[in-house]
Amino acid sequence: MRLVLRANAVAYLVAGLFLGFSTWDWLYTTLGTHKPNPAPFAQLAGVLFCALAYLLWIAPRESKMSRAVAAAVAFANAATAALLVVWELPDRAVLTTEDRVTMTAGAIVCAAFALVEVVVASRSVAVLLPAD
C-alpha cells in the first residue's frame, strides 16, 4: 500500500513540475513535446498535482487517511485514463505516433494506479462514510 501511494506521489510530482514549467520553451523544445496552451491553466494543474503528490506521500502515515486519499486518487486516475483514451479516438485530435504512444502509456499507468488504489480504498469503505 505504502509503495503504491508513494510511487503515485512521485508520478504526480513529476507531472506537476512538468506542467508547472509550462512557460519554459526550453523544456518542451528539449523533450520534443507540444507546449500546453493556455499556460496558466497548465501551471494551475501543475500546482494541484504537486499538492496531491504531497497528500499521497504522507497518506500512509494513518490508515483512515490512506484509504480516503486512495479513493479520491483512484477516481482521478481512472478519469485521467478515460480522458486519455477518449482523446485518442479517431478524428478527435491530430496526434503524431509519438503522442499516441505517450498517451496510451499514460492511460495504462493511470488505470493501473486506479485499480490498485481501489483495492487500498476498499479495505474498509465504512471509514470513508461521514459520521452520524
Q: Which domain holds residue 85?
A: 2-126
Helices 39-58, 63-87: axis angle to 10 degrees equals 150
Residue 121 in domain: yes
The CA-atom distances, in angstroms, between 38 and each of 34, 42, 45, 113 are: 12, 7, 11, 28
> pLDDT tens-digit profile of 68-94?
899 999 999 999 999 888 887 777 777
Is residue 132 in a domain? Answer: no
Exposed/middle/buried for 21, CB within 10 Å: 0-12, 13-18, 19+? middle
Domain presence at residue 21: yes
Q: Does residue 95 form part of some domain? A: yes
Question: Is 131 part of a structural domain of the chain?
Answer: no
Give how many domains the chain has, as a whole number. Answer: 1
Q: Which amino acid is at 119?
A: V
pLDDT per residue as tens digits for the range 24-67: 777 777 777 777 666 677 788 888 999 999 999 999 888 888 88
State the cell numbers at 15: 507531472
Which pLDDT belongs to residue 50?
92
At 89-101, the pLDDT tens digits run: 777 777 788 878 8
In angstroms, rounded to a whole number, what is the distance separating the alpha carbons of residues 1 and 129?
Answer: 21
